[in-house]
Amino acid sequence: MSSPTVDWWTSEAPGTEGLRERKKRLMRQQLTDTATTMFLERGFDSVRVAEIAEACGVSEKTVFNYFPSKEALVLDLPQATMAALRTGLARADRTPTEAVLEILAGELDAFLSWLAAQPDPAQAGARIQSFNAMILSTPSLRAHYRDMTEQLATVASEALAARTGTDVDDPLCQIAATALLGLWRVQFSALRRSVDGEHTPAQVRHAVTTAVRGAARLIEGGLADFGNSPGPRPGRTADGVPLEHAPGGLG
Protein backbone atom coordinates (compact mmCIF):
# COMPACT_ATOMS: atom_id res chain seq x y z
CA MET A 1 0.00 0.00 0.00
CA SER A 2 1.43 3.36 -0.98
CA SER A 3 1.76 6.18 1.50
CA PRO A 4 -0.47 9.21 0.99
CA THR A 5 1.00 12.48 -0.05
CA VAL A 6 1.09 15.39 2.37
CA ASP A 7 -1.99 17.61 2.47
CA TRP A 8 -0.21 20.97 2.24
CA TRP A 9 -3.34 22.77 1.13
CA THR A 10 -5.43 22.71 4.30
CA SER A 11 -5.66 26.23 5.69
CA GLU A 12 -7.81 25.21 8.67
CA ALA A 13 -7.27 22.61 11.32
CA PRO A 14 -9.49 19.55 10.66
CA GLY A 15 -11.34 20.16 13.92
CA THR A 16 -12.37 23.68 12.97
CA GLU A 17 -13.42 23.24 9.33
CA GLY A 18 -17.05 22.89 8.29
CA LEU A 19 -18.56 19.81 6.65
CA ARG A 20 -18.39 21.34 3.16
CA GLU A 21 -14.75 22.36 3.59
CA ARG A 22 -13.90 18.90 4.93
CA LYS A 23 -15.51 17.19 1.93
CA LYS A 24 -13.60 19.44 -0.46
CA ARG A 25 -10.34 18.81 1.37
CA LEU A 26 -10.81 15.05 1.33
CA MET A 27 -11.73 15.02 -2.36
CA ARG A 28 -8.72 17.16 -3.16
CA GLN A 29 -6.50 14.80 -1.20
CA GLN A 30 -8.00 11.74 -2.89
CA LEU A 31 -7.35 13.22 -6.32
CA THR A 32 -3.73 14.12 -5.63
CA ASP A 33 -3.01 10.83 -3.82
CA THR A 34 -4.48 8.78 -6.66
CA ALA A 35 -2.74 10.83 -9.33
CA THR A 36 0.62 10.65 -7.56
CA THR A 37 0.38 6.87 -7.18
CA MET A 38 -0.52 6.42 -10.85
CA PHE A 39 2.22 8.79 -11.99
CA LEU A 40 4.86 7.00 -9.93
CA GLU A 41 3.77 3.60 -11.22
CA ARG A 42 3.45 4.44 -14.91
CA GLY A 43 5.16 7.77 -15.47
CA PHE A 44 3.65 11.25 -15.55
CA ASP A 45 3.21 11.45 -19.33
CA SER A 46 1.62 7.99 -19.57
CA VAL A 47 -1.37 8.79 -17.34
CA ARG A 48 -4.38 10.74 -18.63
CA VAL A 49 -6.49 12.97 -16.37
CA ALA A 50 -9.56 11.01 -17.47
CA GLU A 51 -8.01 7.87 -15.95
CA ILE A 52 -7.44 9.65 -12.64
CA ALA A 53 -11.03 10.85 -12.63
CA GLU A 54 -12.32 7.35 -13.33
CA ALA A 55 -10.21 5.88 -10.54
CA CYS A 56 -11.70 8.41 -8.11
CA GLY A 57 -15.27 7.97 -9.36
CA VAL A 58 -15.64 11.56 -10.59
CA SER A 59 -15.75 13.34 -13.93
CA GLU A 60 -12.71 14.84 -15.63
CA LYS A 61 -14.36 18.24 -15.22
CA THR A 62 -14.43 17.71 -11.44
CA VAL A 63 -10.69 17.10 -11.43
CA PHE A 64 -10.10 20.41 -13.20
CA ASN A 65 -12.46 22.14 -10.78
CA TYR A 66 -9.94 21.29 -8.05
CA PHE A 67 -6.71 21.54 -10.05
CA PRO A 68 -6.12 23.92 -12.98
CA SER A 69 -3.78 21.52 -14.80
CA LYS A 70 -2.45 17.99 -14.79
CA GLU A 71 0.84 19.28 -13.37
CA ALA A 72 -0.99 20.91 -10.46
CA LEU A 73 -2.12 17.44 -9.33
CA VAL A 74 1.52 16.89 -8.37
CA LEU A 75 2.75 20.39 -7.65
CA ASP A 76 0.14 22.89 -6.57
CA LEU A 77 0.86 26.36 -5.21
CA PRO A 78 -0.61 26.56 -1.69
CA GLN A 79 -2.84 29.57 -1.19
CA ALA A 80 -1.83 29.40 2.46
CA THR A 81 1.82 29.98 1.53
CA MET A 82 0.98 33.03 -0.56
CA ALA A 83 -1.22 34.44 2.19
CA ALA A 84 1.48 33.81 4.79
CA LEU A 85 4.04 35.59 2.61
CA ARG A 86 1.84 38.65 2.26
CA THR A 87 1.08 38.75 5.99
CA GLY A 88 4.57 37.91 7.21
CA LEU A 89 6.43 40.34 4.98
CA ALA A 90 4.09 43.14 6.05
CA ARG A 91 4.96 42.75 9.74
CA ALA A 92 7.18 45.56 10.98
CA ASP A 93 8.32 43.48 13.97
CA ARG A 94 9.89 40.85 11.69
CA THR A 95 12.65 41.21 9.16
CA PRO A 96 11.77 39.69 5.78
CA THR A 97 14.11 36.79 6.46
CA GLU A 98 12.55 36.09 9.86
CA ALA A 99 9.09 36.09 8.29
CA VAL A 100 10.10 33.53 5.67
CA LEU A 101 11.86 31.36 8.25
CA GLU A 102 8.60 31.17 10.24
CA ILE A 103 6.68 30.06 7.14
CA LEU A 104 9.28 27.44 6.27
CA ALA A 105 9.30 26.14 9.84
CA GLY A 106 5.54 25.68 9.70
CA GLU A 107 5.74 23.78 6.42
CA LEU A 108 8.53 21.61 7.80
CA ASP A 109 6.45 20.83 10.89
CA ALA A 110 3.54 19.72 8.68
CA PHE A 111 5.78 17.49 6.58
CA LEU A 112 7.51 15.91 9.58
CA SER A 113 4.15 15.22 11.25
CA TRP A 114 3.17 13.28 8.15
CA LEU A 115 6.51 11.48 8.05
CA ALA A 116 6.31 10.48 11.72
CA ALA A 117 2.85 9.00 11.14
CA GLN A 118 4.01 6.64 8.37
CA PRO A 119 4.04 2.96 9.43
CA ASP A 120 7.06 2.18 7.23
CA PRO A 121 9.68 4.98 7.23
CA ALA A 122 11.80 3.22 4.61
CA GLN A 123 8.85 2.94 2.24
CA ALA A 124 7.89 6.56 2.84
CA GLY A 125 11.46 7.68 2.16
CA ALA A 126 11.62 5.63 -1.05
CA ARG A 127 8.33 7.12 -2.21
CA ILE A 128 9.56 10.65 -1.63
CA GLN A 129 12.80 9.92 -3.49
CA SER A 130 10.80 8.53 -6.41
CA PHE A 131 8.54 11.57 -6.33
CA ASN A 132 11.52 13.93 -6.50
CA ALA A 133 13.10 11.90 -9.32
CA MET A 134 9.86 12.08 -11.30
CA ILE A 135 9.75 15.87 -11.01
CA LEU A 136 13.38 16.27 -12.03
CA SER A 137 12.99 13.93 -15.02
CA THR A 138 9.71 15.41 -16.36
CA PRO A 139 10.13 18.65 -18.37
CA SER A 140 6.53 19.82 -17.88
CA LEU A 141 6.78 19.35 -14.11
CA ARG A 142 10.09 21.24 -13.98
CA ALA A 143 8.51 24.06 -15.97
CA HIS A 144 5.48 24.07 -13.67
CA TYR A 145 7.76 24.26 -10.64
CA ARG A 146 9.50 27.29 -12.16
CA ASP A 147 6.11 28.91 -12.77
CA MET A 148 5.15 28.33 -9.14
CA THR A 149 8.41 29.90 -7.99
CA GLU A 150 7.79 32.93 -10.20
CA GLN A 151 4.29 33.35 -8.73
CA LEU A 152 5.70 33.26 -5.21
CA ALA A 153 8.40 35.73 -6.20
CA THR A 154 5.72 38.08 -7.53
CA VAL A 155 3.81 37.86 -4.25
CA ALA A 156 7.01 38.51 -2.30
CA SER A 157 7.95 41.47 -4.53
CA GLU A 158 4.50 43.02 -4.07
CA ALA A 159 4.68 42.59 -0.31
CA LEU A 160 8.18 44.05 -0.13
CA ALA A 161 7.17 46.98 -2.33
CA ALA A 162 4.25 47.73 -0.02
CA ARG A 163 6.57 47.42 2.97
CA THR A 164 9.06 49.90 1.54
CA GLY A 165 6.64 52.21 -0.25
CA THR A 166 8.32 51.57 -3.58
CA ASP A 167 7.23 50.23 -6.94
CA VAL A 168 6.94 46.46 -7.36
CA ASP A 169 9.39 46.68 -10.28
CA ASP A 170 12.05 48.28 -8.10
CA PRO A 171 15.25 46.25 -8.60
CA LEU A 172 15.88 46.01 -4.85
CA CYS A 173 12.44 44.47 -4.28
CA GLN A 174 13.06 41.99 -7.09
CA ILE A 175 16.47 41.01 -5.75
CA ALA A 176 15.19 40.68 -2.19
CA ALA A 177 12.26 38.52 -3.31
CA THR A 178 14.58 36.25 -5.29
CA ALA A 179 16.88 35.85 -2.30
CA LEU A 180 14.00 35.00 0.02
CA LEU A 181 12.53 32.46 -2.40
CA GLY A 182 15.94 30.81 -2.47
CA LEU A 183 15.31 29.64 1.10
CA TRP A 184 12.53 27.36 -0.18
CA ARG A 185 14.97 25.84 -2.62
CA VAL A 186 17.43 25.23 0.23
CA GLN A 187 14.72 23.55 2.33
CA PHE A 188 13.57 21.30 -0.52
CA SER A 189 17.15 20.32 -1.34
CA ALA A 190 17.89 19.52 2.30
CA LEU A 191 14.75 17.39 2.49
CA ARG A 192 15.75 15.45 -0.62
CA ARG A 193 19.11 14.68 0.93
CA SER A 194 17.90 13.71 4.39
CA VAL A 195 14.60 11.89 3.82
CA ASP A 196 15.93 8.44 2.94
CA GLY A 197 14.09 6.10 5.29
CA GLU A 198 17.08 5.89 7.61
CA HIS A 199 17.03 9.29 9.31
CA THR A 200 14.42 9.87 12.02
CA PRO A 201 12.08 12.88 11.78
CA ALA A 202 14.17 14.55 14.49
CA GLN A 203 17.34 14.04 12.46
CA VAL A 204 15.63 15.33 9.33
CA ARG A 205 14.48 18.42 11.22
CA HIS A 206 18.01 19.11 12.44
CA ALA A 207 19.55 18.69 8.99
CA VAL A 208 16.96 20.83 7.21
CA THR A 209 16.86 23.54 9.85
CA THR A 210 20.66 23.78 9.91
CA ALA A 211 20.80 24.19 6.13
CA VAL A 212 18.02 26.78 5.98
CA ARG A 213 19.32 28.85 8.86
CA GLY A 214 22.81 28.81 7.40
CA ALA A 215 21.46 30.17 4.12
CA ALA A 216 19.33 32.70 5.99
CA ARG A 217 22.37 34.07 7.79
CA LEU A 218 24.00 34.63 4.43
CA ILE A 219 21.23 36.96 3.25
CA GLU A 220 20.05 38.41 6.55
CA GLY A 221 22.74 41.11 6.63
CA GLY A 222 21.40 42.66 3.47
CA LEU A 223 17.72 42.33 4.36
CA ALA A 224 17.71 42.96 8.10
CA ASP A 225 16.80 46.63 7.71
CA PHE A 226 14.88 46.29 4.45
CA GLY A 227 11.90 48.60 4.63
CA ASN A 228 12.43 49.48 8.29
CA SER A 229 14.08 52.85 7.83
CA PRO A 230 13.73 55.55 5.17
CA GLY A 231 17.27 56.80 5.81
CA PRO A 232 20.65 55.30 4.96
CA ARG A 233 21.86 52.26 6.80
CA PRO A 234 24.52 52.81 9.46
CA GLY A 235 27.93 53.26 7.90
CA ARG A 236 26.52 54.22 4.50
CA THR A 237 25.58 57.35 2.60
CA ALA A 238 22.02 58.06 1.43
CA ASP A 239 22.93 56.33 -1.84
CA GLY A 240 23.98 53.20 0.02
CA VAL A 241 27.70 53.71 -0.52
CA PRO A 242 29.95 52.58 2.36
CA LEU A 243 31.36 55.64 4.11
CA GLU A 244 34.92 54.50 3.67
CA HIS A 245 34.41 54.51 -0.11
CA ALA A 246 32.58 57.84 -0.30
CA PRO A 247 34.39 61.04 -1.32
CA GLY A 248 36.06 62.42 1.79
CA GLY A 249 35.17 59.25 3.66
CA LEU A 250 37.10 57.20 6.15
CA GLY A 251 39.21 55.55 3.50
Domains of the chain plus CATH, in order, are 19-72 (1.10.10.60), 79-223 (1.10.357.10)
Among 8-22, 76-90, 159-173, whose mean pLDDT is lowest? 8-22
Query: Please, which residues have CB within 8 angstroms of residue 219's CB and are 6 or more apart in sequence?
Result: 97, 179, 180, 182, 183
Mean pLDDT of the chain: 83
Among 17-21, 71-75, 213-217, 219-223, whose mean pLDDT is lowest? 219-223
Q: How many other CB atoms are found less than 10 A from the CB of residue 170?
A: 15
For residue 219, pLDDT over 60 is answered with yes
pLDDT tens by residue, 46-80:
999 999 999 999 999 999 999 999 999 998 877 77
For residue 16, pLDDT over 90 is answered with no
Burial of 24 (0-12, 13-18, 19+ CB in 10 A): middle
Tell me how many degrees the CA angle 55-56-59 measures, rounded to the nearest 5. 100
Nearest to 142 by CA among 195, 188, 96, 194: 188
For residue 239, pLDDT over 70 is answered with no
Query: Please, which residues have CB within 8 angstroms of residue 73's CB and are 6 or more apart in sequence?
Result: 31, 32, 35, 36, 39, 49, 52, 63, 67
**Please, which pLDDT band fits residue 248 given cuts at 50, 70 and 90?**
very low
